[in-house]
């Protein structure tokens, strides 16, 4: 399956690369730290002024977090990230002679740099074969079935590295991220535009959902239980055999429930998020 996925995504994504804007390893590591739980688009909006004020690692190492904060206020967790950036820069200057280290082990000693950030920097800046798992990779890998219900990013990473040849790790990382960002989105994935539906477990599950019901009466209640043929406003909930919480009928416990206004089933397919 992995070879098919990579082959199809290569056709759909001709330039699989990071969307963060940078010119050297210093700018890259700063951008990646800022991108944690934040969009690349937002990071790219703040880094030009940040790099104009702090053009290199030595300039950043002399800054107090309070001097960095005004430039990154619009990203997520700016207070924490300003402290991480200042501490990271000082350590690079003090222990690595002002040069961003190129190995995973060294990168992970830096403040604000975890496993994912280290792998991104090592892969993009230093051509190290790596397969970091962010929220997009986590979601896509689990949805398709490349990862067998991996519960953590590390578990998914290990499964992907077994399925994908090492020489394709870095490219595979970017392919899966971009596919997740623009096609296999967290909400309302664009399955109609996806070239992987033939092998996708998530898509297969969607096709098994009941068809919408016509002729329901919203005035009788917000929900309709097909099992007991009655309406209700306040639903119960139950966890199905896949571990997904579903809307349930308060009288009989059936999960065969529909929204009366739209006629659409309330059943949800199991989905995946980074915990």
At 75, list the tokens. Answer: 């990203």
113: phi > 0 → left, psi -120 to 50 → alpha, else beta; which? beta
- 162 in active site: no
Going 187 to 28 to 132 to 82, the CA torsion angle's sign is: negative
Angle at which helices 169-182 and 153-163 cross, to 10°: 120
Name the catalytic one among 127, 134, 220, 240.
Answer: 134
Q: How far apart are CA 214 and CA 27, in angstroms?
A: 56
Q: Are 120 and 32 in contact (CB under 8 A)?
A: yes
- 116 in active site: yes
Q: What is the DSSP string of 64-80?
A: -HHHHGGGSTTSSSHHH
Name the catalytic one among 116, 161, 162, 208.
Answer: 116
Cβ neighbourhood burial of 271 (10 Å; 0-12, 13-18, 19+):
middle
Q: How far apart are CA 133 and CA 155, in angstroms?
A: 10
Q: Which residues are within 8 A (CB) of 243 and not within 5 positions of it... i.e. 6 or more apart?
A: 270
SS3 265: strand
Degrees, nearest 5: CA angle 269-271-275? 150
Q: How far apart are CA 173 and CA 130, in angstroms?
A: 8
Q: Are 130 and 119 in contact (CB under 8 A)?
A: yes
| Residue numbers annotated as active site | 116, 134
């Amino acid at each position: 399956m992995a070879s098919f996925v990579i082959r199809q995504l290569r056709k759909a994504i001709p330039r699989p690369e990071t969307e963060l804007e940078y010119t050297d390893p210093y700018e890259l590591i700063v951008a990646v730290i800022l991108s944690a739980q934040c969009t690349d688009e937002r990071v790219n909006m703040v880094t030009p002024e940040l790099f104009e004020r702090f053009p290199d690692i030595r300039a950043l190492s002399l800054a107090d977090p309070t001097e960095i904060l005004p430039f990154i206020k619009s990203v997520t967790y700016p207070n924490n990230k300003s402290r991480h950036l200042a501490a990271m820069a000082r350590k690079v200057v003090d222990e690595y002679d002002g040069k961003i280290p190129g190995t995973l082990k060294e990168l992970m000693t830096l403040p604000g740099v975890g496993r994912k950030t280290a792998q991104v920097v090592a892969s993009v800046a230093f051509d190290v074969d790596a397969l970091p798992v962010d929220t997009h990779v986590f979601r896509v890998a689990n949805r398709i079935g490349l990862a067998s219900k991996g519960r953590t990013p590390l578990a998914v990473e290990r499964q992907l590295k077994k399925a994908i040849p090492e020489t394709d790790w870095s490219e595979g990382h970017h392919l899966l991220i971009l596919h997740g960002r623009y096609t296999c989105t967290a909400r309302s994935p664009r399955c109609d535009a996806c070239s992987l539906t033939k092998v996708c477990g998530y898509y297969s599950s969607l096709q098994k959902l009941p068809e919408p019901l016509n002729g329901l009466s919203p005035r009788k209640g917000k929900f309709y239980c097909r099992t007991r043929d009655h309406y209700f406003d306040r639903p119960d909930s139950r966890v199905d055999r896949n571990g997904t919480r579903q809307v349930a009928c308060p009288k009989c416990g059936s999960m065969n429930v529909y929204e009366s206004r739209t006629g659409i089933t309330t059943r949800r397919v199991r989905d995946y998020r980074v915990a």
